[in-house]
Structure 1
Amino acid sequence: MRILFFDTKTYDKESFEKQTGNYPAIEIDYLKTDLTPKTATLAKGYDAVCAFVSSDVGSDTMDALHEAGVKLVLMRCAGFNNVDLEKAAAYGIKVMRVPGYSPEAVAEHAMALALTANRRIHKAYVKVRENDFSLGGLMGMNFYQKTAGIVGTGKIGAAMAKICRGFGMKVIAYDVYQNPELADFVEYVTLDELLASSDLISLHCPLMDNTYHLINRETIAKMKDGVILVNTSRGGLVKTDDLIEGIRARKFFGVGLDVYEEETKNVFEDRSDEILEHSTTARLLSFPNVMITSHQGFFTEEALAAICKTTLDNAVAFEKGERNGNEVEERQ
């Protein structure tokens, strides 16, 4: 099987090349350019393409991949909201993903964002570098005996719930499906109850039609004053303009974001020499209680290794005509 790998970073190539020796039937060519309708034509002669959460795998790209003869799209991530599944099904193109790689990696990063936003670690670092050892603007609050609200209790949300429990927090959760692993210490409540009761709200749900802009002016108004909001899931869960309005109204004690609506052009790119005009990201960064990272929640050695293995296993399963549960199919 020949795979064309798009949007290759050094760490991607190193991680995959460590494991390709175990898959002699797979040949991978790496491109730095990302997958778009124009670059999809480069896949002619390949059996599969490997794409990421920031790739454009929409309608026009699917058209181009079909014309190129591609039969498999390997998403080296859990998310697939950037994939046109209807077109893929119509063309007989299989889409496979990595549903779980290291839930602990993302959950630990979520807590790191929560702690940073709470204790103003990002501000403290800058102050001390300038030999300013005063404590002005660094006041935080204890997480101990506070309430953590987990929205979405799949593998990552469950890992975050366990971390919060370790901090001595009361943990409540909202999800359509209750995770039996959490029955001993998590109380499931309605979304409105979670918003009204939580001191820390952490988002761990997929981006779908019914979760798009889940956090908006109305839901923000239902939150406690002084809440900390963390999003390590998908940027589209939060309506950014409403979030900024809430920050300006001093609704939030702190906000930690590893994902945000404007991130597509920024993810994993060095734009330090550019002037980001009309940048929502710049507006968010102007607030002293906001901490933003660049979609790095997954970025641990263990997670990358798991992503590589699952992606290559997916390719093998497809080649053998087997189903392994990682297929992504259009919802009926």
Structure 2
Amino acid sequence: MKITFFSTQPYDKTFFDEHNHAYGYTLEYQDTQLNRQTVSLAEGSEAVCVFVNDKVDEPVIAALAAGGTKIIALRCAGFNNVDLEAAKKHGLRVCRVPAYSPEAVAEHALAMILTLNRKTHKAYNRVREQNFSLNGLLGFDIHGKTVGVVGTGNIGKAFARLLHGFNCKVIAYDIVADESLVRSGVQYAPLETLLAQSDIISLHCPLNDQTRHLINKKTLEGVKKGVMLINTSRGGLVCTQDVIDALKSGTIGYLGIDVYEQEEKLFFRDLSANIIQDDMIQRLMSFPNVLVTAHQAFFTHEALVQIAETTLGNIKSITETGEAVNKAASLV
């Protein structure tokens, strides 16, 4: 079987080549994103492997089907970039990796909180320039603060448990409460209550029609002045312009984002020699209380092993049985 990978990075090749020894598939790697202009690169491949910023809409799916593709394998958890109805219509199976080291993303969210609070990134640069002043590096104790967790799936649950170690009060919002978290002391509350009471808010929910721009001008009117907002989930959960306005007014005191609404034009690329035309990301990076990382929360050795094993296992299982090896991973 031939599998064409899109949006490929060097580490993808390393981990998939290593774990492909057990499967013997022919793996073809494309650096470019999958979209209507590049879909022809997949012709003749029984499966394509895509990532978060690939555009798998109806025209792309129709072209994939016409070229002989039977399986769309996401090597990530989110699937908002895939038209599932179109895949069903054209007879393509879709699978994903529903859980790959939730701790990786949860720990990165915590790292962003600690970095923004204690300004270790600024201290690192200062000391290297022989500036040992503490002025401007004042932080606060996370101990005892109220942390709001929006979305308590695998990642949100892992994040909530980490915060217990800081003796934080953890408030959660989700459609369904996780009983294990409730037993551990997490309090579920309506979103409005969570926003109003939290010193730190961390987003861990999927992106869909109900959650798009969950954080916007109206919802930000109900937060504590100077709140810390962390987003390691999907960029579209946040209305970027409204967040910029909230930073300018001081409503948001700290912002940490590992994802961004327009990240497909920026992330996973070296643009150090380019003039970036995206004014909003440039504005965000100009704030001293904003920390941006380029979708690296998932990026641990353990997570990449799990992604490769689950993705290849899903393809093998669909080919042999019609179902993904992990039934929770089967979407269509």
Same fold judged by TM-score > 0.5? yes
Q: Deviations over 1:10-53 (max 9, x none)?
A: 110010111111113x2211122221112211212110100000
The residue aligned with 2:59 is 60
Between the aligned partners of 2:136 and 2:229, the Cα distance in structure 1 is 19
Between the aligned partners of 1:277 and 1:8, the Cα distance in structure 2 is 24
The residue aligned with 2:201 is 201
Between the aligned partners of 1:189 and 1:195, the Cα distance in structure 2 is 10
Residues 19 and 308, structure 1, Cα contact 8 Å, conserved in 2:
yes
The residue aligned with 2:328 is 325
Is structure 2 residue 229 aligned with structure 1 residue 226? no
Offset at residue 60 of structure 1 (A) = 2.2
Offset at residue 118 of structure 1 (A) = 1.2
Instruction: Say which is worse superposed, 271-280 or 9-18, in terms of deviation.
Output: 271-280
- Identity over the aligned pairs, expressed in percent? 49
Between the aligned partners of 1:278 and 1:214, the Cα distance in structure 2 is 22
Write out aligned runs for 1:25-174 (5 A): 26-174=25-173
Structure 1 unaligned residues grouped into runs of 5+: none
Residues 152 and 175, structure 1, Cα contact 8 Å, conserved in 2:
yes
Residues 262 and 280, structure 1, Cα contact 8 Å, conserved in 2:
no
Q: Deviations over 1:109-137 (max 9, x none)?
A: 00001111111222222222222221222
Q: Deviations over 1:62-85 (max 9, x none)?
A: 122122111110000001111111
Letter in 1 for 2:225: D
Q: Secondary structure at the match of 1:264?
A: helix
Offset at residue 55 of structure 1 (A) = 0.9
Between the aligned partners of 1:200 and 1:212, the Cα distance in structure 2 is 20
Letter in 2 for 1:171: V
Between the aligned partners of 1:242 and 1:190, the Cα distance in structure 2 is 22
Q: Secondary structure at the match of 1:253?
A: strand
Offset at residue 321 of structure 1 (A) = 2.6
Is structure 2 residue 317 aligned with structure 1 residue 314? no
Is structure 2 residue 272 aligned with structure 1 residue 269? no
Q: Secondary structure at the match of 1:177?
A: coil
Offset at residue 161 of structure 1 (A) = 0.1
Between the aligned partners of 2:312 and 2:265, the Cα distance in structure 1 is 27
TM-score when normalising by structure 1: 0.96
Q: Deviations over 1:125-179 (max 9, x none)?
A: 2222222221222111111001010000000000000011111101110000111
Aligned residues: 328
Q: Secondary structure at the match of 2:105?
A: helix
Structure 1 moving runs of 4+ over 4 Å:
none
Between the aligned partners of 1:17 and 1:254, the Cα distance in structure 2 is 40
Q: Secondary structure at the match of 1:89?
A: helix
Residues 229 and 252, structure 1, Cα contact 8 Å, conserved in 2:
yes
Letter in 2 for 1:71: K
Between the aligned partners of 1:110 and 1:138, the Cα distance in structure 2 is 20
Residues 226 and 251, structure 2, Cα contact 8 Å, conserved in 1:
yes
Residues 232 and 258, structure 2, Cα contact 8 Å, conserved in 1:
yes
Offset at residue 203 of structure 1 (A) = 0.2
Offset at residue 280 of structure 1 (A) = 1.3
Offset at residue 89 of structure 1 (A) = 1.1
Between the aligned partners of 2:92 and 2:9, the Cα distance in structure 1 is 25
Instruction: Say which is worse superposed, 99-108 or 176-185, in terms of deviation.
Output: 176-185
Q: Secondary structure at the match of 1:246?
A: helix
Between the aligned partners of 2:149 and 2:96, the Cα distance in structure 1 is 24
Between the aligned partners of 1:91 and 1:228, the Cα distance in structure 2 is 44
